[in-house]
């Protein structure tokens, strides 16, 4: 085998590698393009407020919205928020602060320790599960077409 034949073999392998890489990239692009769609997004209304526990702002407290009629099985969504260190929050469904879809909800609250390293909550609920059950929630939320909703100050207790 002379130098020319050797060069041809190297070039064939490089071309085959390029086609393989191009094919893999095309498949990845097709999968990504097909999985991202904005169709079916519900209209959301911004909802904000602040949570105080025993008279103090409650930071890193989890808030969940539970649809009164149950989850929408055709177009399910999750609406939630986490309070900042001053107890303030903005509900989010599809992206930060976009709010909640139109409808009737019950709000629940859970306050656990947040581990920054693992980015997860753990430990017992500091609110002793008093506000974690949507069936017994005393915090209704009605979201209707219109201006943003300010829930004001929500007062919770640990005892």
CATH assignment at residue 65 = 2.60.40.10
Q: For the chain, what is the largest distance between any 2 Cα atoms, rounded to a whole number of angstroms?
A: 88
The yes-or-no verdict on residue 35 having pLDDT over 60 is no
Mean pLDDT to the nearest integer, 87-95: 98
How many Å apart are CA 39 and CA 17, to the nearest integer? Answer: 37
> Does 28 share its domain with 84?
no
Q: How many domains does the chain have?
A: 2
pLDDT for position 88: 99
pLDDT for position 34: 39
> Does 76 share its domain with 18?
no
What strand order describes the sheet that includes 140-143?
A: 79-82, 62-67, 103-110, 140-143
Q: What is the mean pLDDT of the chain?
A: 85
30-44, 51-65, 130-144, range with the lowest pLDDT:
30-44
> Does 30 share its domain with 72?
no
> Does 60 share its domain with 130?
yes
> Does 83 share its domain with 139?
yes
> Does 31 share its domain with 12?
yes
CA triple 66-67-71, angle to 5 deg? 100
147 neighbors 47 (Cβ within 8 angstroms): no
The whole domain housing 129 covers 44-156
DSSP reduced 3-state for 128: coil
pLDDT for position 66: 98
pTM above 0.85, yes or no: no
Mean pLDDT to the nearest integer, 127-141: 97
pLDDT for position 115: 84
> Does 30 share its domain with 58?
no
List the one residue out of 48, 54, 68 whose CA is nearest residue 134.
68
């Amino acid at each position: 085998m002379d130098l020319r034949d050797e060069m041809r073999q190297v070039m064939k392998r490089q071309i085959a590698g390029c086609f393989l890489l191009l094919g893999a990239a095309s498949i990845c692009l097709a999968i990504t393009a097909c999985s991202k769609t904005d169709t079916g997004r519900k209209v959301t209304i911004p909802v904000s407020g602040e949570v105080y526990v025993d008279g103090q702002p409650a930071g890193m407290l989890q808030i969940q919205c539970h649809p009164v009629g149950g989850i929408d099985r055709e177009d399910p969504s999750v609406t939630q928020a986490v309070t900042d260190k001053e107890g303030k929050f903005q509900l989010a469904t599809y992206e930060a602060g976009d709010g909640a879809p139109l409808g009737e909800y019950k709000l629940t609250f859970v306050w656990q320790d947040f581990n920054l390293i693992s980015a997860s909550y753990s430990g017992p609920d500091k609110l002793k599960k008093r506000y974690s059950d949507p069936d017994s929630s005393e915090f209704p939320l009605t979201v209707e077409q219109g201006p943003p909703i300010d829930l004001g100050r929500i007062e919770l207790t640990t005892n």
